[in-house]
């Protein structure tokens, strides 16, 4: 009872903190580009969370909470990309991923979940918390306001005031319809009616009202979410994806799986032998007629990646569907799945090699670079799957989740645009071919690398022309909230 009283008494402080977050968001973001403002806002959210958590619950640093606490590192690293780098693609992704990870972490720390974090059920609980409980609890500030007014206003006057407000609420839609009709019926009346808003407030005051609305909206959402993870909640959270019991688990007969995997693996073994002979072994003399080695190497990349993804789905599905009733048959299934993993890894290496040859011929771009990264990530997933094949107690989704977060953070920090610029410039030195327009389209991260061509007489004038727009953009005055390291460094180079 005392704990419940303490929680209720701290509600005004939670509301005040939420309003402070709304004001902070307005100060950092409104009318400004993202920069150092984003990590500062994340720090503000953490400050509110830990302040309120200290008042309401006891956070622990136990072993079972290790993963929850470790999420702090990728959250801050991804938030810092808005300050360090200028890659619009990753900024857009991080704008969504950082709040997603924040929700996951705070739910884990407050133990507002029933499913494991690496299960689909946990994703369902996250959606439920954000879309159901958060929206539901945004009504609490209005209830607090009503109670505050009740306690300070005479009961009779309160009843009269509520009736008056009800009458105003009912009359407003009627009034809007009537005024619209009267304005159309009489032009003079319509003219004077249109002048009333201009007489009451100017554009600045209209903007102020809009900003107050945004502050209130952010404050309400922040309050609703914080209360949903820190306040009392009814037991028995509805889970969108229920856990499947062992009794009801679907299991395929091992002989069926062995037959399927044998047929597939025979095809893949033949394909792998051809890849080694022609692509890596250099057996160019016996290629089919009318096909050069370059054409052979460049073809089939999309098809290979598609087959790899299909194999990945088959691999994961068969691991979970395989019946373990007959140990010998299941051992054969394990061997077949391992063979499938090895053959698919060879396909990935082949696809990676083909794309590298294509880049050498046509240049390096975001799409091709991300395709390389995706193939490396797939290879890591197959290695993890290989471990799972031989270790039944190994949690596949758990390590996939960790690998996914680590891979995405690494992808943010290897500075994709810088690598693309370096490789294209190296290709220019080797072949004399370069696409200056594409180089100029890269983010400000790549400017220091691109400017190494400023003394090359063959491309200097084209370089200056293509970078002129970026140089003009950097001359625009920006607030300190939008400060970005990459833009600052690029400005010094372009000046």
Residue 208's pLDDT is what?
77
Clarify whether residues 387 and 458 are in a common domain.
no
Higher pLDDT, 186 or 475: 475
pLDDT in tens, 143-174: 877 777 767 666 666 566 666 666 666 666 76
Residue 428: C-alpha distances to residues 46, 287, 344, 434, 436 (Å): 47, 30, 34, 5, 10
Residue 426's pLDDT is what?
92
- Cβ neighbourhood burial of 386 (10 Å; 0-12, 13-18, 19+): middle
Contact 264, 333 (CB under 8 A): no
The model's confidence at residue 242, banded by pLDDT at 50, 70 and 90, is: very low
d(CA 57, CA 65): 15
d(CA 322, CA 333): 8
d(CA 475, CA 207): 27
Give the closest residue to 470 by CA, choosing from 82, 479, 450: 450
Residue 203's pLDDT is what?
53
pLDDT in tens, 390-409: 887 778 888 999 999 999 99
pLDDT in tens, 17-72: 999 999 999 999 998 889 999 999 999 999 999 999 888 787 878 887 888 999 99
Percent of the chain past pLDDT 70, that is, above it, reads 76
Contact 240, 127 (CB under 8 A): yes
With respect to residue 228, please indicate whether it lies within any of the assigned structural domains.
yes
Residue 477's pLDDT is what?
82
Clarify whether residues 146 and 170 are in a common domain.
yes
Clarify whether residues 318 and 457 are in a common domain.
no
Count the Cβ atoms, other than its own, within 10 Å of residue 370: 13
Provide mean pLDDT across the span 378-385. Answer: 90
Contact 226, 14 (CB under 8 A): yes
pLDDT in tens, 171-184: 667 666 666 666 66
Clarify whether residues 201 and 276 are in a common domain.
no
Clarify whether residues 362 and 399 are in a common domain.
yes
Host domain of residue 464: 418-494
Clarify whether residues 292 and 237 are in a common domain.
no
Q: Give the helix/strand (H/E) hosting 149.
A: helix 140-152
Clarify whether residues 199 and 302 are in a common domain.
no
With respect to residue 315, please indicate whether it lies within any of the assigned structural domains.
yes
Higher pLDDT, 463 or 238: 463
Give the closest residue to 305 by CA, choosing from 358, 347, 365: 347
d(CA 208, CA 372): 48
- Structure token digits, residue 246: 């062992």
The model's confidence at residue 307, banded by pLDDT at 50, 70 and 90, is: confident
Helix or strand or coil: residue 446? Answer: helix
Clarify whether residues 471 and 371 are in a common domain.
no
Give the closest residue to 269 by CA, choosing from 355, 336, 351, 353: 336
Clarify whether residues 236 and 174 are in a common domain.
yes
Residue 335: C-alpha distances to residues 104, 300, 395 (Å): 37, 28, 19
- Structure token digits, residue 423: 């490789």
Clarify whether residues 159 and 196 are in a common domain.
yes
Of the three residues 364, 393, 414, the one that is the final residue of a domain is 414
Higher pLDDT, 296 or 171: 171
Please enumerate in sequence order all residues whose Cβ is within 8 A of that of 198, keeping only pairs 6 or more positions apart, or say none.
none
Domain count, the chain: 3
Mean pLDDT of the chain: 80
With respect to residue 248, please indicate whether it lies within any of the assigned structural domains.
no
Provide mean pLDDT across the span 106-125. Answer: 88
């Amino acid at each position: 009872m005392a704990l419940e009283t303490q929680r209720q008494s701290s509600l005004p402080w939670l509301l005040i903190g939420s309003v402070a977050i709304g004001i902070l968001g307005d100060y950092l973001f409104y009318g400004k580009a993202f920069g150092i403002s984003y990590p500062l806002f994340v720090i503000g959210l953490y400050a509110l969370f830990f302040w309120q958590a200290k008042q309401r619950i006891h956070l622990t640093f136990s072993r079972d909470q290790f993963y929850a606490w470790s999420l702090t590192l990728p959250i801050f690293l991804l938030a810092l990309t808005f300050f360090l780098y200028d890659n619009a693609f990753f900024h857009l992704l991080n704008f969504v991923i950082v709040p997603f990870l924040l929700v996951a972490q705070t739910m884990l720390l407050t133990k507002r979940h029933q499913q494991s974090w690496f299960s689909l059920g946990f994703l369902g609980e996250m959606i439920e918390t954000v879309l159901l409980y958060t929206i539901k609890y945004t009504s609490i500030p209005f209830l607090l306001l009503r109670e505050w007014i009740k306690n300070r206003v005479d009961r009779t006057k309160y009843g009269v005031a509520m009736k008056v407000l009800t009458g105003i609420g009912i009359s407003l839609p009627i009034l809007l319809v009537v005024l619209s009709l009267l304005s159309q019926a009489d032009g003079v009346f319509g003219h004077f009616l249109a002048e009333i808003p201009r007489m009451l407030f100017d554009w600045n005051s209209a903007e102020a009202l809009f900003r107050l609305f945004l502050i209130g909206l952010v404050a309400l959402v922040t309050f609703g979410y914080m209360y949903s993870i820190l306040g009392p909640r009814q037991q028995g959270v509805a889970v969108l994806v229920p856990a499947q019991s062992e009794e009801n688990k679907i299991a395929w007969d091992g002989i069926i799986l062995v037959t399927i995997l044998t047929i597939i693996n025979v095809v893949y073994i033949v394909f792998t032998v051809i890849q080694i002979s022609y692509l890596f072994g250099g057996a160019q003399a016996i290629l089919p007629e009318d096909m050069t080695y370059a054409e052979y190497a460049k073809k089939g990349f999309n098809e290979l990646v598609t087959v790899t993804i299909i194999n990945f789905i088959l691999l994961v599905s068969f691991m979970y569907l395989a019946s373990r009733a007959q140990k010998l048959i299941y051992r054969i299934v394990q061997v077949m799945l391992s063979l499938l993993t090895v053959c698919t890894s060879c396909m990935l290496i082949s696809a990676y090699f083909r794309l590298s040859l294509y880049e050498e011929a046509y240049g390096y771009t975001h799409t091709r670079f991300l395709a390389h990264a995706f193939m490396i990530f797939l290879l890591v997933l197959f290695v993890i799957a290989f471990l799972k094949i031989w270790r039944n107690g190994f949690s596949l989704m758990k390590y996939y989740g960790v690998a996914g977060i680590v891979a995405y953070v690494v992808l943010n920090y290897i500075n994709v645009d810088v690598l693309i610029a370096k490789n294209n410039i190296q290709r220019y030195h080797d072949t004399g071919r370069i696409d200056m327009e594409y180089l100029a389209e890269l983010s400000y991260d790549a400017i220091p690398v691109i400017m190494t061509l400023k003394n090359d007489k063959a491309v200097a004038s084209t370089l200056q022309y293509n970078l002129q727009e970026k140089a003009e953009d950097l001359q625009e005055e920006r607030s300190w909230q939008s400060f970005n390291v990459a833009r600052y460094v690029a400005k010094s180079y372009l000046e």
